[in-house]
Chain A
Amino acid sequence: MSNDTAIKVENVSKTFRLPHDKNNSIKGAVINFYRRKRTFEKQLVLNDVSFDIKKGEFFGIVGRNGSGKSTLLKLLAGIYSPSKGSITINGKLTPFIELGVGFSPELSGRDNIFLNGALLGFNRSEMEAMYDDIVSFAELERFMDQKLKNYSSGMQVRLAFSIAIRAKSDILLLDEVLAVGDAAFQKKCVDYFKKLKKAKQTVVLVSHDMSTVEEYCDRALLLHDGILRASGNPKEIAAKYRLLNLPTKKSEPETPLKLFGDVTIDKVLINGSDEVVVGENEELTVDITYTPKKTKKFIAAMSISHSDGNHVAYYDTRKERKIVGHKGESYRATCRFKANQFLEGAYRIDVDLYDDDLIYLANKPDAARFSITKTSPAKAGHFNLQGKWQIQKN
Chain B
Amino acid sequence: MFKRLYSKQNRALLSELVRTDFKLRYQGSVLGYAWSLLRPLLIFVILYVVFVKFLKLGTGVPHYPVYLLFGIVMWNFFTEMTMQSLGSIVGRGDLIRKIRIPRWLIVFSSSIGTVINLLMNLLVIAVFMIIGHIGIMPTILWLPLIFVEIYLLALGMSLFLSAAFVKYRDMTYIWEVILQAGFYLTPILYPLSRITNLTFQKIILINPMAQAIQDGRYALITHQTLTAHKIFQGGWDEIIPFAVVVIVLVGGLVYFRKQSKYFAENI
Question: Is B197's beta carbon under 8 Å from chain A?
Answer: no
- CB 8 Å contact bits of A89-124 with B (1 = contact, 0 = none): 000010111100110101100010011011101111
Among A78-86, A226-234, A235-243, the stretch that binds chain B is A78-86
Total B residues in contact with A, Cβ cutoff 8 Å? 31
Tell me which residues across on chain A come within 8 A of B139, comparing CB atoms.
none
Tell me which residues across on chain A come within 8 A of B24, comparing CB atoms.
104, 106-107
A78 and B11 alpha carbons, distance in the complex (Å)? 20
Question: Is B223's beta carbon under 8 Å from chain A?
Answer: no
| Pick from B27, B168, B261: contact of A29, CB under 8 Å | B168
**Which parts of A115-136 form the interface with B (CB within 8 Å)?**
115, 117-119, 121-124
Residue of B nearest to A116 (CB): B16
A26 lies within 8 A of B99 (CB): no
Known: A24-B167, A115-B16. A77 touches B27 (CB 8 A): no
Total A residues in contact with B, Cβ cutoff 8 Å? 32
- CB 8 Å contact bits of B99-118 with A (1 = contact, 0 = none): 11100000000000000000
A121 and B105 alpha carbons, distance in the complex (Å)? 13
- CB 8 Å contact bits of B17-60 with A (1 = contact, 0 = none): 10110011001100000000000000000000000000000000
Tell me which residues across on chain B come within 8 A of A121, comparing CB atoms.
8-9, 12-13
B101 lies within 8 A of A95 (CB): yes
Q: Distance (Å) between the CB of B166 and the closest chain A CB?
A: 9
Known: A24-B167, A81-B261. A107 touches B99 (CB 8 A): no
Tell me which residues across on chain B come within 8 A of A111, comparing CB atoms.
19-20, 23
Q: Distance (Å) between the CB of A243 and the closest chain B CB?
A: 31
Tell me which residues across on chain B come within 8 A of A80, comparing CB atoms.
264-265
**Which parts of A338-352 form the interface with B (CB within 8 Å)?**
none
Known: A25-B168, A123-B8. A101 touches B261 (CB 8 A): no
Residue of B nearest to A81 (CB): B261
Question: Is A315's beta carbon under 8 Å from chain B?
Answer: no
A101 lies within 8 A of B98 (CB): yes
A123 lies within 8 A of B11 (CB): yes
A106 and B20 alpha carbons, distance in the complex (Å)? 10
| Pick from A26, A104, A115: contact of B168, CB under 8 Å | A26
A93 lies within 8 A of B100 (CB): yes
| Pick from B12, B94, B98: contact of A118, CB under 8 Å | B12
Tell me which residues across on chain B come within 8 A of A104, comparing CB atoms.
20, 24
Residue of B nearest to A95 (CB): B100
Question: Is A38's beta carbon under 8 Å from chain B?
Answer: no
Tell me which residues across on chain A come within 8 A of B174, comparing CB atoms.
26
Tell me which residues across on chain B come within 8 A of A81, comparing CB atoms.
261-262
| Pick from A79, A107, A114: contact of B98, CB under 8 Å | A79
Tell me which residues across on chain A come within 8 A of B169, comparing CB atoms.
24-25
**Which parts of A288-303 form the interface with B (CB within 8 Å)?**
none
Residue of A nearest to B260 (CB): A81
A106 lies within 8 A of B9 (CB): no
Tell me which residues across on chain A come within 8 A of B99, comparing CB atoms.
77, 79, 95-97, 101-102, 119
Q: Distance (Å) between the CB of A392 and the closest chain B CB?
A: 59
A29 and B164 alpha carbons, distance in the complex (Å)? 13
Question: Is A8's beta carbon under 8 Å from chain B?
Answer: no
B20 lies within 8 A of A107 (CB): yes
Q: Distance (Å) between the CB of A385 and the closest chain B CB?
A: 46
Residue of B nearest to A121 (CB): B9
Question: Is A74's beta carbon under 8 Å from chain B?
Answer: yes
Residue of B nearest to A115 (CB): B16
| Pick from A29, A106, A114: contact of B16, CB under 8 Å | A114
Tell me which residues across on chain A come within 8 A of B100, comparing CB atoms.
77-79, 93, 95
**Which parts of A39-57 form the interface with B (CB within 8 Å)?**
none
Tell me which residues across on chain B come within 8 A of A122, comparing CB atoms.
12
Residue of A nearest to B174 (CB): A26
A98 lies within 8 A of B265 (CB): no
Known: A102-B94, A119-B99, A124-B12. A25 touches B23 (CB 8 A): no
B264 lies within 8 A of A98 (CB): no
Question: Is A16's beta carbon under 8 Å from chain B?
Answer: yes
Question: Which residues of B pack against A, CB within 8 Å?
Answer: 8-9, 11-13, 15-17, 19-20, 23-24, 27-28, 94-101, 167-170, 174, 261-262, 264-265
Pick 9 A–B contacts, CB within 8 A, sort by A.
A25-B170, A77-B99, A79-B100, A81-B261, A81-B262, A118-B9, A119-B95, A121-B13, A124-B16
